[in-house]
Amino acid sequence: MTKTPTIARIWRGRTLPEKADAYEAYNYEIGIKPLIEKALGVQTFREDTPTHSEFVTISYWENIEAMARFTGDGPIQVHHLDRDAEFLIELPSSVQVLRLLSSHGRTR
């Protein structure tokens, strides 16, 4: 039986441009790979500007309970990676959790 996502969890973090490539590699290895194992789907984004690079990760979950099992905390609590303070301009204090109402089209 295929599980259907009903929740999207959105995390955002910003780093300085000179740290962006290193953070992208670190975040993928330490943060995204474990997320891929547990979430129903994961998308990562990066926007580069002259002053910062913003990273956005959207993960999709069957329900709040499944998401909370992964995070180990409340649904909007951030699980910071060990080196986030070294890379990020500021540590995000929360994530955004949205109810998924509908999905159309293909993303790949």
- Residue 68: is its pLDDT beyond 90? no
**pTM for the whole thing?**
0.90
H/E element, 46 = strand 41-48
What distance in Å separates the CA atoms of residue 55 and residue 97, rounded to the nearest whole number?
A: 17
- Which residues, in sequence order, are bridge partners of residue 50? none
pLDDT digits (tens, 9 = 90+) for 35-57: 999 999 999 999 999 999 999 99
Task: For residue 23, give every residue at least 6 positions away whose Cβ sits within 8 Å of its Cβ, in sequence order, or none.
Answer: 15, 53, 55, 87, 88
- Report the range of poorest mean pLDDT among 11-25, 49-63, 90-104: 90-104
Q: Domain spanning 7-99 has what CATH number?
A: 3.30.70.100
Measured distance CA(90)–CA(98) in Å, rounded: 23
The full set of domain ranges for the chain reads: 7-99
